[in-house]
Amino acid sequence: MNRRKFLSAYIAFYLVVVLLTGCASTKQMVPVASGPIPSNSARIIVLREGGFGGSAAPIGITDNGKQIGEVGIHSQLTWDRIAGSMQLVGFHAGAPNHRTPLSQICVGAGMTYQFMASWPALSSYPKIELVSGTPVACEQSGTTSTGKLEQGQQPSAPATVAQTTSKTTEELQTFTGEVKIMEVKHFTQSEGLGLSQEFINSFYDNMRERLIKAQVASQIVDEGSAVPDAVAANTLIVEGKFTEYKKGGFLEGVGIVGSEIKFYRKSDHALIKIITPRVPFKPSPLNSDSGLGRSTGYRTADEIKKALK
């Protein structure tokens, strides 16, 4: 190899190293959100876990063009912003031109949205993915009627989320008073999803345990339990179905368990609300079905609690 070719190869290698590596410190340039969410605002959380390709490079985040900060591995950015149309962009902190394709989402007042920032292997820009929180309808031009993610080259959220969004934004208009009793049913799964019974049982047991600890209802009962007529109108039946399972990995990024959860009033079985949480988990060869069920069950219980506030 002659000197010119050697220098060209060295420079190309150096640029790749600079692009994919760097100091992964986290710094936030706007106030860190804490406490209750303001009535006219939504809370945005951008999480980041470790990885391989580009894992050391900090990821810059902007919200409608405003610089939010830079998130390093095993860290997060948390801020409140006015509800409405939001354009969230991630970029290489050391090379701002390497950024995610523009995406748009409509966020609702009083709601929390979690995004996972990751660096896919062999990619020149980071990936920002919605993992928790339901988009809402927006009247601003350029958004969809359901407020779903609009992306160019980036894949959008699964169709199961977008298809139910119009229902998930409904308030509990036909349910008055506190939830006295919550009847939690075992989740089913979409055809071909392939989740094991061990996972489903662990998910159910730990979701139920978390709901009890979080005091979502005065009493949590098993599927089919008898409920006194006097409290049937203040009893919610929780029915769930797993709609998505992405185990993640080196190339795929964070793992996801998605579900569709319906709330019914016990007295007349009227449908009250639908939510479609997508909870993340960290891929690992050490993961067991029981362990994944435990972690995702807990996180899904937290989404249920948020939905019923």
Instruction: Say how many residues make up the chain.
Output: 309
Burial class (CB in 10 A: 0-12, 13-18, 19+), 9: exposed
Averaged pLDDT for residues 162-167: 34
Averaged pLDDT for residues 106-124: 82
Q: Is 44 helix (H, G, I), strand (E, B) or coil?
A: strand
> Is 9 among the domain residues?
no
pLDDT tens string 251-289 = 777 889 999 999 999 888 889 889 999 999 888 888 899
- In 3D space, the residue among 143, 147, 121 whose CA is nearest the CA of residue 134 turns out to be 147
Whole-number average pLDDT of the chain: 78
Query: What is the DSSP secondary-structure string of 236-262?
Result: EEEEEEEEEEE--BTTTBSEEEEEEEE
Gap between the Cα atoms of 230 and 92, Å rounded: 59
Q: Is 87 helix (H, G, I), strand (E, B) or coil?
A: coil
pLDDT at 154 over 60: no
> Is 170 among the domain residues?
no
Q: Domain check: are 213 and 269 in the same one? A: yes
What is the predicted pLDDT for the residue at 136? 84
Averaged pLDDT for residues 95-113: 79
Averaged pLDDT for residues 288-304: 93
> Is 171 among the domain residues?
no
Q: Domain check: are 203 and 302 in the same one? A: yes
Q: Domain check: are 146 and 205 in the same one? A: no
For residue 309, give the DSSP letter. -
pLDDT band (50, 70, 90) for residue 297: very high
What is the predicted pLDDT for the residue at 48? 85
Q: Domain check: are 91 and 193 in the same one? A: no
Averaged pLDDT for residues 241-254: 84
pLDDT tens string 26-69 = 889 999 998 899 989 999 999 887 654 455 678 888 898 888 99
What is the predicted pLDDT for the residue at 6? 54
Q: Domain check: are 38 and 99 in the same one? A: yes
Gap between the Cα atoms of 168 and 161, Å rounded: 9
Q: Domain check: are 252 and 190 in the same one? A: yes
Q: Domain check: are 147 and 188 in the same one? A: no
Please tell me the number of Cα atoms within 13 Å of 243 on its side-chain side.
Answer: 21
Averaged pLDDT for residues 128-153: 57
What CATH number has the domain bearing residue 275?
A: 3.40.50.10610
Range of the domain at 86: 17-153
Q: Domain check: are 261 and 297 in the same one? A: yes
pLDDT tens string 193-221 = 999 999 999 999 999 999 999 888 889 98
Gap between the Cα atoms of 16 and 8, Å rounded: 13
Q: What percent of the chain has pLDDT over 90?
A: 30
Give the chain's domain count: 2
pLDDT tens string 7-28 = 555 455 544 444 444 445 788 9
Phi, psi of 167 (to 5 degrees): -85, -35
> Is 230 among the domain residues?
yes
Gap between the Cα atoms of 78 and 38, Å rounded: 14
Of the listed ranges 94-98, 115-119, 161-165, 225-229, the least confidently predicted one is 161-165
Phi, psi of 291 (to 5 degrees): -65, -40
Q: Domain check: are 27 and 144 in the same one? A: yes
Question: Which residue, of 104, 136, 153, is where some domain finishes?
Answer: 153
What is the predicted pLDDT for the residue at 102? 67
> Is 8 among the domain residues?
no
Burial class (CB in 10 A: 0-12, 13-18, 19+), 252: middle
> Is 168 among the domain residues?
no
Tell me the pTM: 0.53
Q: 107 with 165: CB under 8 angstroms?
A: no
What is the predicted pLDDT for the residue at 241? 95
| Beta-carbon contacts of residue 29 (< 8 Å; ≥ 6 apart) | 67, 68, 69
What is the predicted pLDDT for the residue at 218? 86
Q: Domain check: are 144 and 185 in the same one? A: no
> Is 2 among the domain residues?
no
Q: Domain check: are 131 and 47 in the same one? A: yes
> Is 164 among the domain residues?
no
Q: 150 with 140: CB under 8 angstroms?
A: no
Of the listed ranges 157-161, 246-250, 285-289, the least confidently predicted one is 157-161
Q: Domain check: are 227 and 143 in the same one? A: no
Gap between the Cα atoms of 36 and 249, Å rounded: 35
What is the predicted pLDDT for the residue at 49? 73
pLDDT at 166 over 80: no
Count of CB atoms within 10 A of residue 142's CB? 9
